[in-house]
Structure formats: C-alpha cells, structure tokens
Amino acid sequence: MEWYRFIIFGRVQGVFYRKFVSQTMMKNQYKGYIQNLSDGTVEVVAEVFDDDFDTFLQILKKGSLLSSIENIEYQVISEATFTADGFEIRY
C-alpha cells in the first residue's frame, strides 16, 4: 500500500469529474481526496494497494461523461501529511 499524488490534465473542471471520481472511490472504499487546482488540472491524493493500482487508474481515466482526460501524472508520496477515513472532495 502506498500513498500517491495524481495530476489529471484535460477537460476536468466544470464537467462533474470530481463528483464522479469521489463517488466511485467511495463505492470502492478508497481513502483520499480530489480537488481542482488553479491551473485547470485536478489533483487526487489517495491510498492505493499495489494490486488495485490499475483499477484506480482506470477510474481516473474514465471520468465523467463530459470530461476528457489528456494525461495523468503521478508520484508516490513517502509520507502522507493527513489522515483520511474515506474519499472527499476538497474545495
């Protein structure tokens, strides 16, 4: 299990992307958060088990019906600076 930080590029703001991802992550019992960034991208920080990584990434790639994902960058976070009981949208 690792904590990851994902940055999602494309048409992801104002198209219900955060809502879709957060609801799907809660159904799948992931922990973390999603938030819009000022540059038009979306950030996701989440705890992901190694065997679930591909499933997690597919959820981010799918997005809402109106979203269009161009690229996803990610990195492992060595120490998460917060605790999460579920998956939340941050504003």
In this predicted model, what pLDDT tens digit does every residue of 37-89 receive, in sequence order?
Answer: 999 999 999 999 999 999 999 999 999 999 999 999 999 998 766 677 899 99
* 18 a catalytic residue: yes
All domains in the chain, ordered by first residue: 2-90 (3.30.70.100)
Neighbours of 9 (CB within 10 A): 15
Q: Kindly name the residue from 5, 11, 28, 36 that is annotated as catalytic.
A: 36
Which position among 11, 18, 71, 90 bears the catalytic label? 18
Rg (CA), the chain: 12
Q: Is 36 a catalytic residue?
A: yes
Query: Angle CA(58)–CA(61)–CA(66) in degrees, nearest 5?
Result: 135
pTM attached to this predicted model:
0.94
